[in-house]
Structure 1
Amino acid sequence: MYILNNYIVHIDTKNYIADYRNPEKFIGFCKQCNKYNNCWACPPYNFDTEYNITKYNRVYIIGTKIIPSETIRSRCDNAENSKQTGADIITHVRSKLDRQLLDLEIKYPESRAFFAGTCHVCGKEDCTRLTNNPCRYPEKIRHSLESFGFDIGKTTKELLDIELKWSNDGLLPEYFTLVSALFTNEEIDIQL
């Protein structure tokens, strides 16, 4: 159905913040999304995001390149089919990747995972943020790098040597790229 390639680099947290974070710009993009203020994994937050990352001295950036097979690409001959197929592939990959990141948090207790994109935990259920109730799954929810103001395009280009690809004419792109991370104080060898 698809091929997965993971690219993992690490960088000093202070350098990542200094060179790749611009909250004003990227939270501005978040404000244009329907998840803004409607999902507990998305801004605005009632906590200091910088404090939540500066307590770690190292960040492992994980780029997951998803290359759809030619069979899948040939079936996606219209925008609606392509959009649904792309969403299904990303959801499938995220379900495995998110579990692996949570497992790394267990293995390295002084760490914090960041998922690639918005929350997928509730699935088809509406997020409880819509009704001003606490998150149903606080032990599973994680934020994304972009929701903390990080530049994902610059991260992929400069740190992972991956060019982000987008859909042309409503068809599947050549590949999808998910960017997740693990902030930690330990030097570790991540194998996904």
Structure 2
Amino acid sequence: MIKTKITVGHSNIADFLQKYQNVEHFLAYCKQCQNYNSKWSCPPLAVNPRTYLDDYSEIYLIGLQMFYDEETKRQVNTKEKIVDFSAKLLRKMKNKFSDELLTIEKEFPNTVSFSSGGCAWCCKCTRSSGQPCRKPEKMRYSLDSFGIDLGKVTEEFLNIKLLWGLDKLPDYHTLIHALAVKDDTDGEILQKRLENLSIEAETVIL
């Protein structure tokens, strides 16, 4: 059984970007990723990562942790199984998480969500073939593509230590999404809405 936990952090967006954004530094890492120039959610972006958020005043960071029980860790016990299990689960959970935030976007106008890592709605993105995005209503940019230091954000802002593992399934994995909001958004109601998110884990066939 996999249990989930939501953690929400909130900040003035200018302060957040000043502390956690370094476009040049993290763009160098993006260029080494297979998603670079291959997914519409990833660099080079169709928008300017330094000015895209200028109209927004606040940002909410939402961490989704997936905790693995001992039986799951016992079954997922080889490098191949860990890679396969993690990829399938994280893709399912990322899209489920994104769907929840797309719903919140509709409930709270003048908000925009961000995903963790590249978009995962399509099996193969149309960008590599020069075609428009198939699902622009669902595609959201990744926080990474804006030069955000996700490791630092996760540990300092949400007090969650990122865990990795190829030889052994870690105790949990973490997805970090975000929601940027404009001044006319009721922050108190939105905060409660985010804190009350309930995202159950998906089943992965080993």
TM bucket normalised to smaller: over 0.9
Give the number of equivalent residue pairs: 189
Q: Look up the match of 2:176.
A: 179
1:53 to 2:47 alignment: no
CA distance in 2, matches of 1:81, 1:128: 29
Regions of 4+ moved over 6 Å: none
> Secondary structure at the residue paired with 2:50?
helix
Structure 2 segments unaligned to the other structure (5+ residues):
198-206
Which AA in structure 2 matches 1:172?
Answer: L
Report deviation, 1:18.
Answer: 0.3
Query: TM-score under structure 1 normalisation?
Result: 0.95
Report deviation, 1:92.
Answer: 2.3
1:77 to 2:74 alignment: no
Contact 1:26–1:150 at 8 Å: present in 2 too?
yes
With 138-147 and 89-98 compared, the bigger mean Cα shift is at 89-98
List aligned pairs for 1:140-159, cutoff 5 A.
140-159=138-157
> Secondary structure at the residue paired with 1:182?
strand
Contact 2:79–2:166 at 8 Å: present in 1 too?
no
Query: TM-score under structure 2 normalisation?
Result: 0.88
List aligned pairs for 1:2-151, cutoff 5 A.
2-122=2-122, 124=123, 126-151=124-149
CA distance in 1, matches of 2:132, 2:95: 22
CA distance in 1, matches of 2:15, 2:22: 13
Contact 2:119–2:139 at 8 Å: present in 1 too?
yes
CA distance in 2, matches of 1:91, 1:69: 20
Which AA in structure 2 matches 1:24?
Answer: E
Contact 1:83–1:172 at 8 Å: present in 2 too?
no
